[in-house]
Structure 1
């Protein structure tokens, strides 16, 4: 290929420039040598720009990877519902926390099946036993018409600490207010552990509850319960206690209003 043809080809590859400054334009004094030199410089410049772009891409990919990991962690740590409610697994605030509404412990509900004229042992576990202080467990039915018309309302608060097999400082008392029907028949702790049992009326009766520190609702089935210490049978530390279904309210609780200074465990 002759130089003019090569020069013309290089001219096509060159970026648009002012005609007077174009080293590949023979009409403005461009020569084969000047055009080749210019193109080599241009190629080197493009390579440097490409390397810079690749470095930026790699940096962005790294940030994206870190972001994906962070998003995955955040997703597992909290969730946002369609109505804007946020659920957080753990939240530690070192500064000031401001809210426009009072801070509330999450309310949970459960329904006790079985027969309406029977009271079933409902098992709770005090998961904050070894860290927190006194447990306050609230169980209630705010509306008298929940589940059926005029079934009854209940407001109850249990303030307690299990014996925990020797940890001691154990005590329990309850404040109970109810209407139309008695809903709480009895309450006690499983002496060897951090579990509590409250006998509640069945028959498809719904209850709400919350606590001042971590608590698990272990079992609310409408049936007797058998609890053990978790040690192998035959071990000196193996103990089993059975909690039967009740048909009557304990005499101390058989009233519409039970106050903690008159009844205690």
Structure 2
């Protein structure tokens, strides 16, 4: 039996404060909400859970504050089977995301980094986890220098570096040189432009239209399964985590797996709570014989 891929996720973990409303307010406008919930999230944590539910072995590297949200945020990782031994506790507040979701499923998000913004150093155990992984999965909700240090160490030890460069910001050329796989949406692809040219493998998500892959030898487009959209908040993270778990199976199969994961995540409210497992993904793909390890 093939061993599951080992994924180290370096990134953010937040408590998402989610308000639903008929339409998002315009500047200066007050609207009535239709519901409220608190859901553990953060791009790093969401992607870690998505990779784990897709069958990978996952270790999470990140930071929590010392507040009322911290125990629940740690618990959601461990309950999902993610190794949270490298999740450190720092003074102050944990990260928080304020999310408004309108009736059609589109959202706006304000992220307050909290402890995520103070995660600036990697210790020897963090670096060992990176070197031991098959894939290092990063985003940009923590300091860029921390991402760059991890990517540099990963590259030196043969670990594939997969970056979801969100939120988009200026990155040093040295970091782009360490990235093997980038996952962006259409807007991010336009903003990053020529910077992506240095990345060997680029995946561009296109919402309901699926995703496109550009690699050294081929270009592939994979459509997204049709679903009833409720909330798109966690769809991109579900896609990226599932992609990391399936990456070793080749771009086309990994994209199909990731598109199905992203589509399923959009059918439920909340980020981490909506992330599908391998059996659900396989079922949507129509492969009832797929094992719950993410193989199909």
Q: TM-score, normalised by structure 1?
A: 0.24
Between Structure 1 and Structure 2, the one with more helix by share is 2
Q: TM-score, normalised by structure 2?
A: 0.22
Quick check: which has more Rg, 1 or 2? Answer: 1
